[in-house]
Amino acid sequence: MANPVPLQDNDLPLQRFYHWERARASEIFLTQPVGDGAVRDITWGQAGDEVRRMAAWLQAQGWPAGSKVAILGKNSAHWILADLAIWMAGYVSVPIYPTFNGEALRFILSHSESKACFVGKLDEVASLKDGVPSGVALVSLPLAPPLQNLSWDAAIAASKPLQGEPVRAGEELATIIYTSGTTGNPKGVMQSFAAMTWALSSGHERVRFGNNERMLSYLPLAHVAERILVEQGALRFGFHVFFAESLDTFVQDMQRARPTLFFSVPRLWVKFQQGVYKKMPPQKLKRLMSIPIIGGLVRRKLLKGLGLDQCRLAVGGAAPMPPDLLRWYRDLGLDLIEGYGMTENCAISHATVPGTFRPGTVGLPYAGVESRIDPNTGEIQMRCPAVMMGYFKDPEQTAATMTPDGWLRTGDKGAIDKDGCLRITGRVKDLFKTSKGKYVAPAPIEDLLVTHPDIEACAVTGANFAQPLGIVMLSPDAVIRVGAPDQRAALTISLTEHLKAVNARLEAHEQLDCLAVIATAWTPENGLVTPTFKVKRPRIEDLYALHYEAWLAQRKPVIWATS
């Protein structure tokens, strides 16, 4: 296997943490909002003291080396400190999405055989009541809701700091990251310290990181992309990490951090654009930006308003970015690149090259990554040192996902163009056949549908019908608006025009018969989307399939569904 990216032991996460603990003891590592506009700054030296004390407390519990310890909660400074303490103590961390319901939480804690669980910021604690197996100790992190159990502060106050610099070998299991489970129970992806370190090294070959970068952590740390870019990036390069307090304070959080690196999903990039358009209509903005000198002032003002005036690298991932959106940000002065990866490869596979413009593709393989397309299924397969060790306690699923010689079957369909850039065309298992015998890949169509500002999520379906149909979930703002009859009529017209525009870009057999509009939110709690808000197609089919014939029988482009 080609592997031009060197891996050094002193690049591993604990070794890097010890380095910054010594070299930057008095410099700020983490900035945590604590409410009412106040923040708590934690230096590298303070982080070292707390992590060492918690590692000593964990070791004092007498669990065998390699035991599993979970972390449940929203992003916070102490989420990262808990992760470091688990590793320093000789254990394996198990991150859990804060939106998992009690059933999923119990499955992960039981399946992973976790001895304990750190509990951080949560919107509600209902899942803890029936989701924590007996015998699993709970430790509350700062900012956690009130719980009757041991707190982080009490544990570190009762413990002396662990001495020395205990290290973990690169080949050791570092973490088990459970996938969000679109088609069944989550699978536990096993990743080593070396895999995470190599992934960051490979990314660094594509985009250079400095020692004074600032990042805002707001996407779930339980997700591999945030874990690699933010947590591992901070440990490797000494980033200053800021945390978001809530959705309501997100603008202020961005203004505080003024990140130099910023990663987000396409939906948020769309919302940023929509926020700009609410203050200034698109045509007026375009006209102003075309005027010399004034255009530059407008661009700087808009980026500053978004908190992105210091951003030198902006990244989109998790779904394709609409080409028009990429062009809009480039015109604004932000070089927005796209990345492609998954939990099973530490989020390292392909990315566009900064300074280039390849809309519709996810660019070239990262350094040291091999990729190919299965000639029979069109599936994207890749191989690199960041590929997982396997699925925890699931050798059959591991064998189904990995070839004997180490190629990862991604489950995505794609094609490689003449320049070597990868284009993703859908999911292998998501394909369905219409009654005309034509196969439809729903993902690319869904990517077009969600560009409408009032569509929060969608699913394209219709197996065995003459044409597919789209089920669209309205945004919260649109749900409120359509309570007024005139607003519903206006949105019906807007969605009808959007459907025409989308169909004009599709092959005849892909064109949607209608859009069924759903006002009920799809949430992780009701099981219709994953914690990363990927639609669970089987659950959507279970809930809505009985209505398809009635919707289609109305022969309208937009159907207001009652379910």
Strands 38-43 and 28-35: antiparallel
Q: Which residue has the higher pLDDT, 389 or 477?
A: 389
* Contact partners, residue 68, CB within 8 Å, separation at least 6: 91, 92, 93, 94, 112, 113, 114, 115, 176
* C-beta separation of 117 from 71 below 8 A: yes
* Res 266: pLDDT: 77
Report pLDDT for 128.
85
pLDDT tens per residue, range 7-54: 677 899 999 999 999 999 999 999 999 988 899 999 999 999 999 999
3-class SS string, 46-76: HHHHHHHHHHHHHHHCCCCCCCEEEEECCCC
**CB neighbour list of residue 106: distance below 8 Å, 6 or more residues apart:** 130, 131, 132, 133
pLDDT band at 442 (very low <50, low <70, confident <90, very high): confident
pLDDT reported for residue 153: 95
Name the residue type at position 507.
E
Answer yes or no: is pLDDT of 184 > 70.
no
CA–CA distances in Å: residue 255 to residues 244, 260, 301, 305, 397 = 11, 12, 13, 8, 44
Confidence check: pLDDT of 512 > 80: yes
The Cα 368–Cα 6 span in angstroms is 10
Q: Which amino acid is at 160?
A: K
Q: DSSP assignment, residue 256?
A: H
Question: For the whole model, what pTM was predicted?
Answer: 0.84
Beta bridge partners of 422: 416
Q: Which domains does the chain have, with CATH numbers?
A: 263-309+311-340 (no CATH), 432-560 (3.30.300.30)
The pLDDT value given to residue 114: 97
Structure tokens at 161: 């700091």
φ and ψ of 448, to 5 deg: -75, -40
CB 71 within 8 A of CB 93: yes
Sequence-ordered alpha helix ranges (H) in 187-322:
193-206, 224-226, 233-237, 250-257, 266-279, 282-289, 294-306
CB < 8 Å & 24+ apart, contacts of 47-52: 47/17, 47/21, 47/81, 47/84, 48/17, 48/18, 48/21, 48/161, 49/161, 50/81, 50/85, 50/152, 50/156, 51/17, 51/81, 51/84, 51/85, 51/88, 52/85, 52/88, 52/161, 52/162, 52/163
pLDDT band for position 182 (50/70/90)?
A: low
Task: Return the number of other C-beta atoms located less than 10 Å from residue 241's C-beta.
Answer: 25
Mean pLDDT of the chain: 89
Q: Please, are residues 29 and 434 in contact by the beta-carbon 8 Å criterion?
A: no
Q: Which residue has 């109305």 as its token pair? A: 554
3-state helix, strand, coil in the chain (%, to 5): 35, 20, 40
Cβ atoms of residues 334 and 302 within 8 Å: no
Digit-coded pLDDT (tens) for 340-375: 999 999 999 999 888 787 777 889 999 999 999 998
Q: Pick the closest to residue 174 from 57, 47, 13, 50 (CA basis).
A: 13
Round to whole Å and give the CA distance between 233 and 211: 10
Name residues whose C-beta falls within 8 Å of residue 85's C-beta, 6 or more positions apart in sequence.
50, 51, 52, 54, 55, 58
pLDDT digits (tens, 9 = 90+) for 89-146: 999 999 999 988 888 899 999 999 999 999 999 988 888 888 899 999 999 999 999 8
Looking at residue 352, the DSSP 8-state letter turns out to be P
CA nearest 305: which of 280, 340, 330, 339? Answer: 280
Backbone phi and psi for residue 49, each to the nearest 5 degrees, phi listed first:
-65, -45
Dump pLDDT digits (tens) for 253-288. Answer: 988 999 999 988 777 787 888 778 888 888 888 888
Among 188, 158, 148, 192, residue whose Cα is nearest residue 173: 192
